[in-house]
Amino acid sequence: MNTKLVESLVQVINSLSSEEKKLLEEKLQHQSDWEKQRNRIIERAKKIHARRGGKPFKPSVTKIIHQMREERDEQLMPTYQPSNLSLCR
């Protein structure tokens, strides 16, 4: 444990104004909320996994994302053809 760092942090926190302390608490609370949300997502994923009997989604999520990226690339490629780039100048 880095005792000196902790002691320095305590000194800094004690020197903060009430507004600064409030802002610090909000920032720390935001992190806590994020962690709670992450835990909820993990628990929900476990329930879905259990409900499906451990069977993966078909097609896999990775395959779906890859397919969506390919479709988006096909949509964007005509925009970046050399003939169209001259129009952008």
pTM beyond 0.75, yes or no: no
Quick check: 27 pLDDT over 70?
Answer: yes
Q: Distance (Å, rounded) from C-alpha 50 to C-alpha 35? A: 23
76/63 same-domain check: yes
How many domains are there within the chain? 2
What is the domain extent for residue 68? 56-89
More confident residue, 59 or 38: 38
Residue 23: pLDDT band (50, 70, 90) is very high
Mean pLDDT of the chain: 86
38/23 same-domain check: yes
